[in-house]
Chain A
């Protein structure tokens, strides 16, 4: 079974608007970590935000926030005030007890001027 599911292959967003990228996960580990990475066309993986399974509050990092709904096993990324430089592929990932990262299929975001 897929551990990480990202159902949106591609999204368009207008500059300065917010966009939400969906991510659901599946694990039986009580302790796990959820990550979002950005991958521009050049290929490098840029860490955006982290949410631990025991964290009570939703993580925020600048324009990025993570909407963590543990009971629904979802960890959606919200990018506020989109910029042209936000155009990239975005991956949701989960780390379980074995420390391996499982990645979702990714969502391509295109920001329009």
Chain B
């Protein structure tokens, strides 16, 4: 089945550090990938839609300069949390939708637990 690899799975770093998270579709191509944020015991909140070869589309209230998204190829999107602070600590998870399969589910990565000290 379709697999999405997300790396790293866990990050602990100091305040002020920038952290890059990769989301890679291993056996399919995706023009669109999605980035979500999830606080403990809460739902997934869509942060942005990553579009291959063009700028990401951010949801209302998400700072585009804080959360940089790059979708340089049909199999890779990256989310960089710039100058991270403790309030950025959360679970970040990506998903990808295979090209031409509109009625198929999005495939999720295993998520990244980010802890900012």
Contacts and interface: CB of A to CB of B under 8 A. Distances in A.
Contacts of A47: 105, 107-108
B34 A101 contact: yes
Q: How large is the interface on B (under 10, 10 to 19, 20 to 34, 35 or more residues)?
A: 20 to 34
A108 B43 CA distance: 11
B103 to A, nearest CB: 6
B58 interface: no
B110 interface: yes
Nearest to A49: B105
B106 interface: yes
A25 interface: no
A29 interface: no
Contacts of B93: 43, 45
Contact of B44 (A42, A44, A95, A103): A103
A103 B105 CA distance: 13
Contacts of B106: 95, 101
A101 B103 contact: no
B22 interface: no
17 contacts: A43-B110, A43-B111, A45-B44, A45-B111, A47-B105, A50-B103, A50-B104, A50-B105, A100-B34, A100-B46, A101-B34, A101-B106, A103-B45, A104-B43, A105-B42, A105-B43, A106-B43
Given A43-B110, A44-B111, A50-B104, 4 more contacts: A50-B105, A101-B46, A101-B106, A105-B42
